[in-house]
Amino acid sequence: MRSSQPKVLHALAGRSMLGHVMAAVTASAIDNVAVVIGPGHEAVAADAARHVPHARIFTQAERRGTAHAVLQASAALGQASGPVIVLFADTPLVTAGTITRLIDAVNAGAGVVALGFHADDPTGYGRLLTVDGALTAIREHKDATEAERATTLCNAGLMALSGAHALALLEAIGNVNAQGEYYLTDAVEMARSRGLRCAVIEAPEAEVMGINDRMQLARGESLMQERLREAAMQGGATLVDPASVHFSFDTVLGRDVMVEPHVVFGRGVSIADGAVIHAFSHIEGAAIGTNASVGPFARLRPGTTMDAGARIGNFVEIKNAVLGEGAKVNHLTYIGDADVGAHANVGAGTITCNYDGYFKHRTTIGAGAFVGSNSSLVAPVSIGAGAYVGSGSVVTRDVADGSLALSRAQQVEKPGWAARFQAAMKARKAVAKH
């Protein structure tokens, strides 16, 4: 990856590759989870614990092959009573459905089950060799005959083993090969030598793609986005231009939500039924209510809540604020650390001055209040219900319910001043040229 960050912590749709795999494990109702990491990768262990707090962490001090890596979790393997599923954190698109099929195949009597896929271009992949549907061997491309290379059924790497035999099979694997490593694929040979049946289940090639560089990461992101867009539309949301909308793994869209082109959803967004998200908006950590309207060109930052029918317009930024039912903040405005009451109207160019250089302070705008354009509300401050703030005001003290607050210099008019000023400036400029 050419990165200071461990590969499996690189993210797809706002969640690490490791996190995606562990989410699939959790969705498969697997509760005994072991994670094998490399030495010095405490960040990977911490990420695993965030997703599955009870996961047991094991360290592979030396890189001696995939079977050797799995054996580092021998303490967990020895306690396995059901199927053992071996997954790879750099294969983040694997689904819970596929993991369940691996489990089912072991429960149906297989000692080893390999996950395979038909590759458009199988060059370089290990081949899964079968006879009458039974898996007979996994052959590396370089070791395969021409006839074996002709098959497109390739090894995805993921594997399931019978819990009753897993530890013995793995311990029987040797390292007599050019690399001197212990390969998980040799479990098939070990199982067959013990009279155990070996099987294959298949998955789409896209689901089992491994990610090893930035190009593959981008491809994985694209595939993940396709899944999320499809799920959103199947759930009843309309995406006007699906390919231009970017989701996070946890984005929740209700029925009849309309999402216009070029919208980005960061983590932690939920949108209730009937809301409209207009084009070029960026939303993160926000809850948007029924029939609310956002954008275009709006930015909602974490902590934003919009109640039913609230409206946020173009070039508005909201952060850590609650907008009551039917409240309107239509354009060119910043609302941060604030509570805006139901049906309040905040005019263009208004800002809540929430930060004094050391601490954040809160602004409260009451129900039905009207804040005129180009106003500055210096927190902590409260605008009462039904109150008015005159345009251009700087409000530093609380405003009572139903009151009018004005804070601006008195307008002064000097007749003829503009003509005299222009004449003087033109004369000065003429002198300057000579």
Helix H, strand E, coil C: the string for 235-261 is CCCEECCHHHCECCCCCEECCCCEECC
The dihedral through the CA atoms of 101, 104, 108, 109 has a sign that is: positive
One of 278, 282, 331, 343 is an active-site residue; which one?
A: 331
Three-state secondary-structure class, residue 307:
coil
CB neighbour burial string for 353-376, b if at least 16 within 10 angstroms, e if fewer: bbeeeeeebbbbbbbbbbbbbbbb
Q: What is the pLDDT of residues 204-251, one digit of tens each?
A: 999 999 999 999 999 999 999 999 999 999 999 999 999 999 999 999
Q: Contact at 8 Å (CB) between 232 and 251?
A: yes
Q: Residue 189: which of 244, 241, 129, 132 has the closest Cα? A: 129
Rounded Cα distance, 331 and 202, in Å: 53
SS3 294: strand
Task: Please report which helix (H) or strand (E) contains residue 385, including its range.
Answer: none
- Give the gyration radius of the chain's Cα atoms: 31
- Would you state the structure tokens that stand for residue 201, as one six-digit string? 């289940």
Residues in the chain: 434
Kindly give the confidence (pLDDT) of every residue in the chain, 434 residues in length, as a single tens digit, with 9 standing for 90 and above: 999 999 999 999 999 999 999 999 999 999 899 999 999 999 999 999 999 999 999 999 999 999 999 999 999 999 888 999 999 999 999 999 999 999 999 999 999 999 999 999 999 999 999 999 899 999 988 889 999 999 999 999 999 999 999 999 999 999 988 889 999 999 999 999 999 999 999 999 999 999 999 999 999 999 999 999 999 999 999 999 999 999 999 999 999 999 999 999 999 999 999 999 999 999 999 999 999 999 999 999 999 999 999 999 999 999 999 999 999 999 999 999 999 999 999 999 999 999 999 999 999 999 999 999 999 999 999 999 999 999 999 999 999 999 999 998 888 999 999 999 999 999 999 998 87
First to last CA, the chain: 65
Report whether 17 contacts 8 (CB < 8 A). Answer: yes
> What are the pLDDT digits (tens) for 138-182?
998 888 999 999 999 999 999 999 999 999 999 999 998 888 999
Can you tell me the distance from the alpha carbon of 46 to that of 53, in angstroms, rounded to the nearest whole number? 9
Strand 276-277 to 258-259 pairing: parallel
Q: Which helix (H) or strand (E) holds 40?
A: none
294 in Cβ contact with 288 (< 8 Å):
yes
Structure token pair of residue 166: 């897993």
Interatomic CA distance for residues 253 and 236, integer angstroms = 8
CB 387 within 8 A of CB 401: yes
Structural element, H or E, at residue 393: none
The β-bridge partners of 392 are none
What six digits make up the tokens of 241? 């231009």
Complete DSSP assignment for 87-123: --TT-TT--HHHHHHHHHHHHTT-SEEEEEEE-SS-T
Is residue 54 among the annotated active site residues?
A: no
| CA of residue 414 relative to chain centroid, distance | 59
- CB burial of residue 4 (10 Å; 0-12, 13-18, 19+): exposed
d(Cα 136, Cα 4) in Å, to the nearest integer?
A: 41
Sequence-ordered strand ranges (E) for 132-175: 134-139, 153-161
CA distances from 111 to 105, 173, 195 (A): 9, 15, 9
Are 379 and 362 in contact by the 8 Å Cβ rule? The answer is: yes
> Residue 266: helix, strand or coil by DSSP?
coil
Residues 6+ apart with CB under 8 A from 213: 1, 2
Identity of the amino acid at 410: Q
Backbone angles phi, psi at 270, to 5 degrees: -130, 140
